[in-house]
Structure 1
Amino acid sequence: MRENDGESRRRPCLNFYIDRCTGPCAGMISRSDYRENVRRLSMFVSGSRTSVLDELDKKMRELSEALRYEDAAAMRDQLNALRSLDQRGSLDDTSHPVVAPIDLTEGLDDLQQALALPSRPRLIDGMDASNLGASEAVGAVVTFADGKPQRGGYRRFRIKTVEGQDDYAAVSEIAERRYGRLLSENAALPDVVLVDGGIGHLRAVRSVLDALGILEKTALLSLAKENETVYGAAAMLPLELPPRSAGKRLLMYVRDEAHRFAQHYHHILRRKFILE
């Protein structure tokens, strides 16, 4: 949150008037109160649920004793809203994408056949970029081994060379840093690289892998949420994978995990930005 002067202050949106937002962008809440809300939210999502609820309950009683009934009522509403989250499942339930059971052997066999690989793909990388406003972008790569997430191979990237929102340039930088480093360390390259996006993202990463000399050593694919179409870099055509096949669902799992991991980093930086 930044301090607003008289000229930059604007009218709050509808969410403020229906009590779904405190209106920080319009200066409707003080910096100290906003920081306090962010601190409590951070504690709550980090698992300190009981501490936050006890703190709010104590504050509500203090406000009531001080005859500040409207403020006490607002605090009561916050308490009730947080307690209602129990009816929606725990935070851990939503920390990872929900995936239907996948026969990993069948999924890897599907990919081997569709990509004409000499053997089942053992290592699969998933890549995604996420924008934090016009001036900040981040990215992530997740690694799957034999169809299972290998979190020791997950990597986060703060985009350094791209100005503004340019997903193609962002995934290009991620690919160059990721695979340039693997080459410099003589580390194992993935059998499959999956980019979250469409043909434009695919072309951007293809150029990087070609320049690095590894385009012939790894199968490059893209998968966008729109229509869930898988494109292969070899011919820039849709890959022949039935929608309900284990191979298609495995790729969707990798794509969604890359997106989740990138978004998680995005949220970490956003929270840091708000608290500054």
Structure 2
Amino acid sequence: MNKEENEKRLAYLKGIVSNLPSKPGTYQYYDKEGIIIYVGKAKNLKNRVSSYFHKETDRFKTKVLVSKIHNITYTVVNSEEDALLIENQLIKQYQPRYNVLLKDGKTYPSICVTKEYFPRVFNTRNINKRYGTFYGPYSNVKSMHAILDIIKKVYKPRTCRFPITQEGIEQKKYKACLEYHLGNCGAPCIGKQTFDDYQQNMAQARQILKGNTREVQRILKEKMEAAAAELRFEEAEMHKQRYIALEGFAAKSEIVSHSISDVDVFSIVNDDSKKNAFISYIHVTNGAINQSFTFEYKRKLAETDAELLNEAIPEIRERFQSEAKEIIVPFELDFKIKNAEFFIPQRGDKKHLLELSEMNAKQHKFDRLKQAEKLNPEQKQTRLMKELQDKLKLPKLPYHIECFDNSNISGTDAVAGCVVYKAMRPSKKDYRKYNIKTVVGPDDYASMQEVVRRRYSRMIEAEEPLPDLIITDGGKGQMEVVRAVVEDELRLQIPIAGLAKDNRHRTNELLYGFPPQTIGVPTNSELFKILTQIQDEVHRFAITFHREKRSKHQLHSELDDIKGIGTISKEQLMKHFKSVRKIKAADIQSLTAVLGTAKATLLYNYFHPTDQNLNKK
């Protein structure tokens, strides 16, 4: 490979890396033949993968690996634990050349509930479904032992390996072991615990292992409260710790389950124009994801989602040579596949797999959007303006937005600021500062009306273009006083929105209309972030202007009021006398030595008007 080809390869790879999400997941590196040469997991995919391409990387293995990479794919998941599980499966399946871990065939442990007359519960790495039901695997071994400990302490399943039968109990073949005497077992082997009671306990234990912990939490809470009421505080603390451990339990994977085997999962997400669709494909074998890809399809004849999936599913299955008997899809399809059945899950592990597939499709859509917006930054601004227009049902695109805010301390040095955004970007040359002139005291509503009145009266006179949207830094009250000026006084038709804060002084909702209604904009969305950015900017602008004015006011001295005493004279006086008090007390000779006769006489007569009158007499 020559230098030009290598630079082209690196540019292609860095383009992929720049659009990776900052989410947990797994990533796969491919060589020029399309063979997986490395599989990795990451808490943050973007940070982890980009680290391979830093110039300061000095590890020989890393340099060799990077030199072999020709393509990168990835899968996003909900947690680091899920990433561990997928990495484990992929390494064992593909045995990539540059992976050195997890090639020995070992797997993460699972929890088994046996099919015996009195089931046992224990952890194991050997999966054989003939012996019982398996839950997991668990990448977090500490959490696995925590849940096992809870089950053992709450339900006390037997730990012995005797093949206990009903006949053996009736014939009294067994004896109670030490675990019974220690209180760790109910001794069903000698009839101390009934079969029905034991099976009920096991049914609840299975619910815990499936993630349904509420019932067990309720039981533990009742025991904790009962022990506390009877002043058995040590026992209450023990129940509390078990409750907390159960509450914090999160080791059960939402992705992998031994009950799911050889399944295809498909989901579809449309882009904003609905001209393209992103179809995510996940394949599960032996309870673990081993393939995950997202494909982009372009509609030619305005096909529906169902029609697009009808075409894509057979094509994708053929490409990956899948013969899965079950295909998970998000909605009903009107065609059938030979030797396979479609399934629309409503809950459980299969529903989680469908949600994961949808998450990958949405992430791929987001990556493509980011890539396009990076090449054309105006595209993002237009999208946000269009989104705001749709949310507020505005008559035209809100290209020109203005926002106002007041600032004062108990009515003193009252000022206001107006910031202007054009195409969702600050237009600082259009910012305006206002000294409040007609309002006495701390009256934010009256101050806001004065500023809005002055702002738009002047714009009307100058025939300047009016804004497409006004945003008030406040709730319903601020919106109403602005509307009273804009619509009732000036007869203007400018849409007015408001950003309201919660009791923690955090902006939490967008208001629009009269009477104002809350507009459904998620607080973590890009649109809400740009709106709060506008709000923060006008607050910063107004408070900065207020501080400047207050600072000038506080630095004002009596020397500033004396005509004929300029800046240089004041500096000379302060340098010599250090304070205004000493200047006032100085005699005419001292002042003359600093300023000269004329200015010294002027200054002395200002501070000593009585002496001046006597001199006149």
With the length of structure 1 as denominator, give the TM-score of the two structures: 0.60
5 Å-filtered alignment, 1:230-269, equals 230-269=510-549
Query: Structure 1 residue aligned with 2:442, among 148, 165, 171?
Result: 165
Aligned amino acid, residue 208 of structure 1: V
Aligned amino acid, residue 404 of structure 2: M
5 Å-filtered alignment, 1:168-187, equals 168-187=445-464
Aligned residue for 2:411? 134
- Whether the 8 Å contact between 2:413 and 2:550 is mirrored in structure 1 is no
Aligned amino acid, residue 495 of structure 2: A
Aligned amino acid, residue 449 of structure 2: S
5 Å-filtered alignment, 1:189-228, equals 189-210=466-487, 211-214=489-492, 216=493, 218-226=494-502, 227-228=507-508
User: Structure 1 stretches of 5 or more lacking a match?
Assistant: 1-101
Superposition CA RMSD, Å: 1.9
Aligned residue for 1:146? 423
Local SS of the residue matching 1:119:
coil
Residue 186 (structure 1) shift: 0.9
Cα pair distance change 1:138/1:233, threshold 3 Å: farther
Cα pair distance change 1:234/1:110, threshold 3 Å: farther
5 Å-filtered alignment, 1:24-103, equals 103=380
Aligned residue for 1:61? none
User: Structure 2 stretches of 5 or more lacking a match?
Assistant: 1-378, 557-617
- CA–CA separation in structure 2 for the residues paired with 1:184 and 1:231: 30
Aligned amino acid, residue 415 of structure 2: V
- Whether the 8 Å contact between 1:106 and 1:247 is mirrored in structure 2 is no
Q: Deviations over 1:124-175 (max 9, x none)?
A: 0011011133333110000011011001110000111111111111111111
- Whether the 8 Å contact between 2:413 and 2:549 is mirrored in structure 1 is no
Local SS of the residue matching 1:136:
strand
Which runs of 4 or more aligned residues in structure 1 lie more than 4 Å from their structure 2 counterparts after TM superposition?
none
Residue 108 (structure 1) shift: 1.1
Aligned amino acid, residue 174 of structure 1: V
Aligned residue for 1:86? none
Aligned amino acid, residue 212 of structure 1: L
Aligned residue for 1:155? 432
**Segment drifting more, 244-253 vs 163-172:** 244-253
- Whether the 8 Å contact between 1:172 and 1:208 is mirrored in structure 2 is yes
Local SS of the residue matching 2:406:
strand
Aligned amino acid, residue 193 of structure 1: I
Aligned residue for 1:275? 555
What is the count of residue pairs matched by the alignment?
Answer: 174
Residue 123 (structure 1) shift: 0.2
Residue 242 (structure 1) shift: 2.1
Residue 236 (structure 1) shift: 1.2
Q: Percent identity?
A: 34
Local SS of the residue matching 2:515:
coil
- Whether the 8 Å contact between 2:405 and 2:416 is mirrored in structure 1 is yes
- CA–CA separation in structure 2 for the residues paired with 1:106 and 1:242: 16
Local SS of the residue matching 2:446:
helix
- Whether the 8 Å contact between 1:106 and 1:246 is mirrored in structure 2 is no
- CA–CA separation in structure 2 for the residues paired with 1:186 and 1:194: 21
Local SS of the residue matching 2:412:
coil
- Whether the 8 Å contact between 2:401 and 2:421 is mirrored in structure 1 is yes
The answer to which structure, 1 or 2, has the higher relative contact order (CA under 8 A, 6+ apart) is: 1
- Whether the 8 Å contact between 2:509 and 2:521 is mirrored in structure 1 is no
- CA–CA separation in structure 1 for the residues paired with 2:475 and 2:394: 22
**Segment drifting more, 173-182 vs 132-141:** 132-141
Residue 103 (structure 1) shift: 4.2
- Whether the 8 Å contact between 1:107 and 1:248 is mirrored in structure 2 is no
- CA–CA separation in structure 1 for the residues paired with 2:438 and 2:386: 38
Q: Deviations over 1:194-215 (max 9, x none)?
A: 111111111111100011111x
